[in-house]
A and B are shown apart, each in its own frame.
Chain A
Protein backbone atom coordinates (compact mmCIF):
# COMPACT_ATOMS: atom_id res chain seq x y z
CA UNK A 1 0.00 0.00 0.00
CA UNK A 2 1.34 3.39 -1.01
CA UNK A 3 2.24 5.76 1.81
CA UNK A 4 3.11 9.40 1.29
CA UNK A 5 4.99 11.43 3.88
CA UNK A 6 5.62 15.15 3.95
CA UNK A 7 8.29 16.87 5.98
CA UNK A 8 8.17 19.25 7.73
CA UNK A 9 4.60 19.29 8.99
CA UNK A 10 4.82 23.03 9.55
CA UNK A 11 7.23 25.72 8.46
CA UNK A 12 7.47 29.39 9.26
CA UNK A 13 9.84 31.63 7.30
CA UNK A 14 10.42 35.35 6.81
CA UNK A 15 9.32 36.92 3.57
CA UNK A 16 11.81 36.66 0.71
CA UNK A 17 13.35 33.39 1.80
CA UNK A 18 13.73 30.47 -0.56
CA UNK A 19 12.35 27.22 0.82
CA UNK A 20 12.01 23.53 0.08
CA UNK A 21 9.15 21.24 0.94
CA UNK A 22 9.74 17.50 0.91
CA UNK A 23 7.54 14.60 -0.10
CA UNK A 24 8.44 10.91 -0.02
CA UNK A 25 6.52 7.86 -1.14
CA UNK A 26 7.05 4.17 -0.46
CA UNK A 27 6.04 2.63 -3.80
CA UNK A 28 8.06 3.99 -6.70
CA UNK A 29 5.70 2.56 -9.32
CA UNK A 30 3.84 5.83 -9.72
CA UNK A 31 2.13 7.27 -12.76
CA UNK A 32 2.53 10.87 -11.72
CA UNK A 33 2.89 13.15 -8.74
CA UNK A 34 0.97 16.34 -8.14
CA UNK A 35 1.54 19.24 -5.78
CA UNK A 36 -1.49 21.13 -4.46
CA UNK A 37 -2.10 24.19 -2.38
CA UNK A 38 -4.96 24.38 0.10
CA UNK A 39 -6.05 27.56 1.82
CA UNK A 40 -7.96 27.22 5.13
CA UNK A 41 -11.48 25.92 4.57
CA UNK A 42 -10.99 25.77 0.82
CA UNK A 43 -10.54 23.15 -1.83
CA UNK A 44 -7.30 22.21 -3.52
CA UNK A 45 -5.54 24.19 -6.21
CA UNK A 46 -3.20 22.25 -8.45
CA UNK A 47 0.28 23.76 -8.61
CA UNK A 48 2.42 21.35 -10.57
CA UNK A 49 2.02 17.92 -12.12
CA UNK A 50 5.05 15.74 -12.83
CA UNK A 51 4.69 12.65 -14.96
CA UNK A 52 6.75 9.61 -13.94
CA UNK A 53 9.04 10.12 -16.94
CA UNK A 54 9.82 13.72 -15.99
CA UNK A 55 12.42 15.05 -13.59
CA UNK A 56 10.98 18.46 -12.84
CA UNK A 57 8.32 21.02 -13.62
CA UNK A 58 8.41 24.78 -13.18
CA UNK A 59 5.72 27.39 -12.85
CA UNK A 60 6.72 30.91 -11.93
CA UNK A 61 8.45 30.86 -8.56
CA UNK A 62 7.66 27.18 -8.06
CA UNK A 63 9.84 24.27 -9.09
CA UNK A 64 9.01 20.66 -8.38
CA UNK A 65 11.46 17.81 -8.84
CA UNK A 66 10.87 14.09 -8.91
CA UNK A 67 13.28 11.24 -8.19
CA UNK A 68 11.08 8.23 -8.72
CA UNK A 69 13.72 5.64 -7.94
CA UNK A 70 14.34 7.06 -4.49
CA UNK A 71 10.68 7.86 -3.90
CA UNK A 72 11.14 11.59 -3.38
CA UNK A 73 9.84 14.89 -4.65
CA UNK A 74 10.64 18.41 -3.58
CA UNK A 75 8.76 21.64 -4.08
CA UNK A 76 11.01 24.66 -4.22
CA UNK A 77 9.48 28.08 -3.63
CA UNK A 78 11.66 31.03 -4.51
CA UNK A 79 11.41 34.46 -2.91
CA UNK A 80 8.53 33.50 -0.66
CA UNK A 81 5.67 35.96 -0.07
CA UNK A 82 3.00 36.20 2.65
CA UNK A 83 0.47 35.18 0.01
CA UNK A 84 2.22 31.83 -0.24
CA UNK A 85 1.00 30.97 3.25
CA UNK A 86 -1.13 27.83 2.92
CA UNK A 87 -0.97 24.08 3.33
CA UNK A 88 0.91 22.30 0.57
CA UNK A 89 -0.05 18.75 -0.26
CA UNK A 90 1.65 16.26 -2.49
CA UNK A 91 -0.24 13.34 -3.97
CA UNK A 92 0.78 10.38 -6.07
CA UNK A 93 -1.18 8.40 -8.57
CA UNK A 94 -0.22 4.79 -9.10
CA UNK A 95 0.31 3.29 -12.50
CA UNK A 96 -2.94 3.31 -14.45
CA UNK A 97 -3.37 -0.45 -14.59
CA UNK A 98 -6.48 -1.71 -12.90
CA UNK A 99 -8.52 0.62 -10.75
CA UNK A 100 -5.64 2.42 -9.03
CA UNK A 101 -6.54 5.81 -10.41
CA UNK A 102 -7.13 7.59 -7.17
CA UNK A 103 -4.59 9.82 -5.51
CA UNK A 104 -2.78 9.06 -2.27
CA UNK A 105 -2.10 12.21 -0.32
CA UNK A 106 0.57 13.20 2.11
CA UNK A 107 -0.43 14.90 5.35
CA UNK A 108 0.71 18.29 4.10
CA UNK A 109 3.12 21.02 5.11
CA UNK A 110 1.57 24.11 6.65
CA UNK A 111 3.60 27.09 5.47
CA UNK A 112 3.53 30.52 7.06
CA UNK A 113 5.46 33.35 5.42
CA UNK A 114 5.92 36.24 7.80
CA UNK A 115 5.91 39.80 6.43
Chain B
Protein backbone atom coordinates (compact mmCIF):
# COMPACT_ATOMS: atom_id res chain seq x y z
CA UNK B 1 0.00 0.00 0.00
CA UNK B 2 0.90 3.65 -0.28
CA UNK B 3 3.19 4.87 2.50
CA UNK B 4 4.02 8.46 3.37
CA UNK B 5 6.96 9.09 5.66
CA UNK B 6 7.10 12.35 7.59
CA UNK B 7 10.06 13.67 9.61
CA UNK B 8 10.71 14.78 12.21
CA UNK B 9 7.92 13.45 14.40
CA UNK B 10 8.49 16.21 16.90
CA UNK B 11 10.68 19.31 17.13
CA UNK B 12 11.26 22.06 19.65
CA UNK B 13 12.77 25.30 18.42
CA UNK B 14 13.41 28.80 19.66
CA UNK B 15 11.39 31.79 18.51
CA UNK B 16 12.82 33.32 15.39
CA UNK B 17 14.38 30.18 14.01
CA UNK B 18 13.22 28.13 11.03
CA UNK B 19 12.11 24.53 10.98
CA UNK B 20 11.90 22.19 8.00
CA UNK B 21 9.47 19.29 7.85
CA UNK B 22 9.89 16.57 5.22
CA UNK B 23 7.26 14.39 3.66
CA UNK B 24 8.23 11.50 1.41
CA UNK B 25 6.12 9.08 -0.58
CA UNK B 26 7.99 5.82 -0.20
CA UNK B 27 6.46 3.49 -2.75
CA UNK B 28 4.68 5.74 -5.17
CA UNK B 29 5.08 9.02 -6.97
CA UNK B 30 3.04 11.92 -5.69
CA UNK B 31 2.66 14.84 -8.04
CA UNK B 32 0.52 16.52 -5.41
CA UNK B 33 0.89 16.59 -1.67
CA UNK B 34 -1.24 18.40 0.87
CA UNK B 35 -0.13 20.09 4.07
CA UNK B 36 -2.52 20.31 7.02
CA UNK B 37 -2.36 21.91 10.41
CA UNK B 38 -4.17 20.65 13.47
CA UNK B 39 -4.66 22.45 16.76
CA UNK B 40 -5.42 20.45 19.93
CA UNK B 41 -8.83 18.81 19.87
CA UNK B 42 -9.60 20.32 16.50
CA UNK B 43 -9.80 18.86 13.04
CA UNK B 44 -7.34 19.20 10.20
CA UNK B 45 -7.22 22.45 8.30
CA UNK B 46 -5.69 22.50 4.86
CA UNK B 47 -2.80 24.94 4.62
CA UNK B 48 -1.55 24.44 1.10
CA UNK B 49 -1.37 22.14 -1.88
CA UNK B 50 2.12 21.27 -3.00
CA UNK B 51 2.62 20.63 -6.70
CA UNK B 52 5.75 19.00 -8.07
CA UNK B 53 7.74 21.38 -10.19
CA UNK B 54 5.53 24.40 -9.60
CA UNK B 55 4.48 26.82 -6.92
CA UNK B 56 2.31 25.69 -4.07
CA UNK B 57 -1.27 26.82 -3.77
CA UNK B 58 -2.04 28.33 -0.38
CA UNK B 59 -5.38 28.49 1.37
CA UNK B 60 -6.83 31.82 2.33
CA UNK B 61 -5.22 33.23 5.44
CA UNK B 62 -2.04 31.15 5.21
CA UNK B 63 1.11 33.25 4.82
CA UNK B 64 3.10 31.90 1.91
CA UNK B 65 6.25 33.72 3.01
CA UNK B 66 6.05 32.15 6.44
CA UNK B 67 5.21 28.62 5.38
CA UNK B 68 7.55 27.82 2.51
CA UNK B 69 6.71 24.73 0.50
CA UNK B 70 9.07 23.01 -1.88
CA UNK B 71 8.12 20.02 -4.01
CA UNK B 72 11.26 19.45 -6.02
CA UNK B 73 10.72 15.79 -6.82
CA UNK B 74 7.87 13.33 -7.24
CA UNK B 75 8.59 11.78 -3.86
CA UNK B 76 9.53 14.68 -1.61
CA UNK B 77 7.75 17.78 -0.37
CA UNK B 78 9.05 20.03 2.39
CA UNK B 79 7.36 22.60 4.59
CA UNK B 80 9.60 25.20 6.20
CA UNK B 81 8.20 27.31 9.00
CA UNK B 82 10.26 30.49 8.88
CA UNK B 83 10.88 32.81 11.82
CA UNK B 84 8.76 30.60 14.02
CA UNK B 85 6.71 32.07 16.85
CA UNK B 86 4.94 30.33 19.75
CA UNK B 87 1.60 30.69 17.95
CA UNK B 88 3.00 28.46 15.18
CA UNK B 89 3.15 25.60 17.67
CA UNK B 90 0.86 22.97 16.25
CA UNK B 91 0.63 19.53 14.71
CA UNK B 92 1.50 19.50 11.01
CA UNK B 93 0.51 16.59 8.77
CA UNK B 94 1.15 15.93 5.11
CA UNK B 95 -0.79 13.67 2.79
CA UNK B 96 -0.67 12.36 -0.73
CA UNK B 97 -2.93 10.32 -2.90
CA UNK B 98 -1.87 6.84 -3.91
CA UNK B 99 -1.93 5.82 -7.52
CA UNK B 100 -5.14 4.62 -9.05
CA UNK B 101 -8.56 6.19 -8.85
CA UNK B 102 -9.65 3.94 -6.01
CA UNK B 103 -6.88 5.01 -3.70
CA UNK B 104 -7.73 7.27 -0.87
CA UNK B 105 -5.36 9.66 0.72
CA UNK B 106 -2.43 8.47 2.79
CA UNK B 107 -1.16 10.59 5.63
CA UNK B 108 2.20 11.03 7.22
CA UNK B 109 2.60 10.41 10.93
CA UNK B 110 2.62 14.13 11.67
CA UNK B 111 5.10 16.56 13.21
CA UNK B 112 4.53 18.14 16.59
CA UNK B 113 6.15 21.59 16.50
CA UNK B 114 6.71 23.48 19.74
CA UNK B 115 8.15 26.97 19.55
CA UNK B 116 9.57 28.29 22.82
Contact = CB atoms under 8 A, between A and B. Distances in A.
Nearest to B103: A49
Contacts of A49: 102-104
A59 to B, nearest CB: 12
A89 interface: yes
Interface of B is mostly: strand
Interface residues of A, number: 23
A43 B108 contact: yes
A107 B102 contact: no
Interface residues of B, number: 24
Contacts of B106: 46
B32 A43 contact: no
6 closest A-B pairs by beta carbon, nearest first, are A49-B104, A44-B107, A43-B109, A43-B110, A107-B43, A105-B43
Interface of B: 6, 32, 34, 42-46, 49, 57, 91, 93, 95, 97, 102-110, 112
